[in-house]
Chain A
Amino acid sequence: MAEVTLVEAVNLALARAMEDDPAVVVFGEDVGINGGVFRATVGLQQRFGSERVFDTPLAELLISGLCVGMAAQGLKPVGEIQFMGFIYPCIDQLVNHASRLRNRTQGRLSCPMVLRTPHGGGIRAPEHHSESTEAMLTHIPGLRVVIPSSPERAYGLLLAAIRDPDPVVFLEPTRIYRAAKGEVEDNGEALPLDVAFVLREGRDVTLISWGAMVKETLAAAETLDAEGISAEVIDLATLKPYDEDTLLGSVAKTGRCVIVHEAARTGGFGAEIAALIAERGLTSLLAPVTRVTGYDTVMPLPRLEQHYMPSVGRIVAAARKANEFS
């Protein structure tokens, strides 16, 4: 098996999906000859032609609307939004059309589309290029929101997203596009959606995260382990609909839970998980559920962004504090 980066795994999955299914169409800004600003689509236009892989005009609303129209016609469109800060013009199409086309026509039409976009900060990018507003998307009924945290899961989950009969927003953790490397077998096998992945088993505290923050969360678990605190690490992977059973099962075992995300705290997806555990896992709790998150500020420009992003130290401190309860 070849070792690839996360963004290379995205490319492998796109190529595999296009090879397997002539209905798959890839488009967005600069995705053609340039291969995308992060090179996620590199080589696809040369291989599959400029009808199936094409550059759109600079128009994000159009990209999402094209997805809806094509998907209703039985194509499998995969649109790319260059950065998450530019996804907002797509919200009308996602909320009012993509996510509800099946429901509003009672199954007469459906919308098997994927909208891909880089997610999150930590790459010293210009303003509006480091957004992590996934919670906004998770509030949309009928949508799927998926974030991989490794090359293996990027490959398997993207294949699953493209094959899924419903609309998926696929958020790609920009910070680990190249930093995350792993062996990926290009065998066309998808990973399950709506399922959380237990990356590390533990007995004292459950650490829940997704996307690029999984890296710091795993590092925190290592540090805690050296201190004699056994941390279970869960990569949520699909944020909507999310795997309640795995989360509740883990908290039932450990009695403690720390949720880690780089998005702002208020109304972040961590709040949803904390509410779930309060509603259905309270009796197993030995300590309050805590969140280690970005702050309720605008994502700072690069000079301050490292102070905004949850660090290994902040995660460790939260887990230690949870462990002080007995």
Chain B
Amino acid sequence: MIASGRADEQLPVIARFEVRYRNYLAPDGAINRKLPAFASDTRLLVTLYRAMVLVRAFDLKAVALQRTGRLGTYAASLGQEAVSVGVASAMREEDVLLPSYRDNAALIWRGVKLEDILLFWGGDERGNRFSGPVQDFPFCIPVGSQAPQAAGVAYAFKLRKEPRVAVCLFGDGATSKGDVWEAMNFAGVHRLPVVFVVTNNQWAISVPLRLQTASETLAQKAIAAGFIGEQVDGNDVVAMHAAAEAAIDAARNGQGPHFIEAVTYRLGDHTTADDAARYRPTEEVQARWKEEPIARLRSFLAGQNVWSKTEEERLAAECQQRIDAAVERYLAVEPRAPETMFDHLYAKLPKAYAAQRRELEGGS
């Protein structure tokens, strides 16, 4: 820690803070410390595992679709599946998710159809009219700008005395933005039911964390806003689920906001338009593969004798089948008529734009 004031001045210390770190499973699947109670339900852990495997297979397929010209630019979540799955699995349906563009695993967990996600990245706004919880926000692309919105959502919950929580996901780069600070500051003042989760995947496109911040942790940023920030092993889905569940429950019970720094690693490129090899050493990525979340949980489940090679093969086949069917449905979606770009511009199209709409219809 960097102390304020020179040591030889002997100034009194008026405040001290600490940041806790949460981890249960070691990279090899061994148990590091006593597991939380929910982990004795291995069915839940298997469900979390299945969700992570599905999203990894989905990401692979999405990238392949992009490479073959059947999808637009896409942001895969390779290596950080445990963050989104761990958080989303701790939410209730009536809570509201405000995701970043890389949080497709959270959307899928919450019931958004795979073809809807493909449709959005395939260049069609109808993908955001998705089938999941109707009040969830769409992917947020301007980094961190969903954080003040999350505070607004949480304020509405508090005003109406609804036992609901806003859950806001963003990346490490977003913590450098005023948006995130302004939202956290306000959430702290009003003790809002909001949980901020930063997916610290070490890289904001080509900028490493050490150039993003001089903070020892990102979690400590919550301290300045007046609430708890904790650091969690973001490759340990048990830890992510436990941290998110505790934070969301506390927020629901009127204990105010919470900040979770999920420490993980983006194993892939930033998006399909990026080549991470330009700025990131191969050895670093290879080393980080040893910590990734799916193999870790698989090792643990296998050690518990609740997961086998046969089940793994069956799951892979199921995922493939589900994804292929979704791709088929996505590719079968007919483009909208051009003039429909006006349909949801305003609740009712102003008269001034009727003529522009007709231009697209081939009219006047």
Chain A residues with a Cβ under 8 A of chain B = 25, 51-52, 56-57, 59, 61-62, 64-75, 77, 89, 92-93, 96-97, 102-110, 141-142, 164-166, 194, 241-245
Contact = CB atoms under 8 A, between A and B. Distances in A.
B155 interface: yes
A66 B152 contact: yes
Interface in B127-143: 128-130, 134-135, 137-138, 141-142
B125 A104 contact: yes
Which 10 residue pairs across A and B have the least CB separation, nearest first? Answer: A69-B152, A65-B148, A73-B156, A69-B149, A106-B129, A62-B182, A241-B350, A66-B152, A241-B352, A165-B347
B344 interface: yes
B139 to A, nearest CB: 9
Nearest to A27: B155
A97 B152 contact: no
A25 B344 contact: no
Contacts of A245: 351
B178 interface: yes
A125 B246 CA distance: 50
A142 B344 CA distance: 9
A105 B128 contact: yes
B38 interface: no
Given A65-B149, A105-B138, A166-B347, A59 B159 contact: no
Contacts of A89: 178
Contacts of A64: 148
7 contacts: A61-B178, A61-B179, A66-B186, A93-B145, A103-B125, A105-B125, A241-B352
B350 A194 contact: yes
A166 B353 CA distance: 15
Nearest to B147: A65
A77 B125 CA distance: 26
Given A69-B152, A107-B129, A56 B344 contact: no
Given A105-B129, A108-B128, A65 B138 contact: no
Contacts, number: 138
B112 to A, nearest CB: 12
Nearest to A70: B152
Given A65-B147, A66-B148, A74 B347 contact: no
Contacts of A110: 347
Contact of A65 (B159, B183, B346, B351): B183
Contact of A104 (B128, B142, B151, B178): B128
Contact of B153 (A69, A164, A194): A69
B103 to A, nearest CB: 16
Interface string B146-186: 01111111111101000000100000000000110011011
Contacts of A96: 141-142, 145
B126 interface: yes
Contacts of B166: 69
A65 B179 contact: yes
B232 to A, nearest CB: 25
B189 interface: yes
Contacts of B346: 102, 142, 165-166
Contacts of A102: 344-347
A33 to B, nearest CB: 16
Contact of B149 (A25, A56, A97, A166): A97
Nearest to A74: B156
Majority-rule SS of B interface residues: helix
Contacts of B157: 73
Given A70-B152, A96-B142, A104-B125, A57 B185 contact: yes
Interface string B61-105: 000000000000000000000000000000000001010000000
A51 B159 contact: yes
Contacts of A70: 152-153, 155-156
Contacts of B343: 106-107
A72 B352 contact: no
Contacts of A243: 352
A107 B145 CA distance: 21
A76 to B, nearest CB: 11
Contacts of A74: 156
A164 B348 CA distance: 10
Given A65-B149, A67-B152, A194-B352, A73 B135 contact: yes
Given A102-B345, A142-B345, A57 B186 contact: yes
Contacts of B125: 103-106
A57 B189 contact: yes
Contacts of B154: 69
A145 B151 CA distance: 25
Contacts of A104: 125, 128, 138
A103 B345 contact: yes
Contacts of A141: 345
Contacts of A244: 352
A109 B135 contact: yes
B151 A62 contact: yes
B336 to A, nearest CB: 9
A93 B156 contact: no
B186 A56 contact: yes
A108 B182 contact: no
Which of A57, A73, A92, A103 has the most CB atoms of chain B within a 10 A radius of its CB? A73
B150 A69 contact: yes
Contacts of B179: 61, 65, 92
A106 B151 contact: no
Which of B145, B153, B156, B179 has the most CB atoms of chain A within a 10 A radius of its CB? B156
B127 to A, nearest CB: 9
Contact of B128 (A61, A97, A106): A106
Contacts of A52: 159
A194 B351 contact: yes
A47 to B, nearest CB: 16
B152 A68 contact: yes
Interface string B180-218: 001101100100000000000000000000000000000
A108 B186 contact: no
